[in-house]
Amino acid sequence: MNNNDSQHTKPRTRILRRMLPWAGGTLIVIFGAMQLVRFVVPDFQLDNPPVTQTVVWSSPEAEQLWRSACADCHSNETVYPWYSYVAPVGWLVAHDTHEGRDELNISTDSRVEWDEMVEQLQEGEMPPQVYTVIHADARLTTAQIETLASGIRATFR
């Protein structure tokens, strides 16, 4: 390394040292602003609209399996974990919850396509892997899937 290279490195280092606090501050402001988006954009709101239909389950086991594997996205009784309140992860949680409710919401739907529910459950499409990665209790065994499927049939038929 010659003397010229060393002279160019020092000014660059000084510039980077001056810019680092500004860059860090800017990132903190952006992150803070991201936290406020869910109060303005309806799609990112973590909500639980009123339950207008109560389901009486055929068995307590089926209801417990439903609550652990399905209810967070398919009812108005979502239990939002702490990370749901931190953007941008919370935006994904809100989006997935609203999308799940649009497909099926037992808290408001008077007609439930139970056969479709059972089929998706037995084919492993539900609960989705992105959910089961974080929620270990939603990883259902074959026996639990059959218990839940039987409970769905008996409850919604």
Q: Kindly report, residue by residue over 5-31, the tens digit of the pLDDT.
A: 555 567 888 888 888 888 888 899 988
pTM of the model: 0.80
46 Cβ contact partners less than 8 Å away, ≥ 6 residues apart: 38, 78, 80, 84, 85, 90, 93, 94, 97
Distance, in Å, from the CA atom of 103 to the CA atom of 111, rounded to the nearest integer, reads: 12
pLDDT tens digit sequence for 88-100: 999 999 999 999 9
What DSSP designation does 70 have?
T
Nearest to 150 by CA among 73, 66, 74, 72: 66
CB-side exposure of 68: number of CA atoms within 13 Å?
17
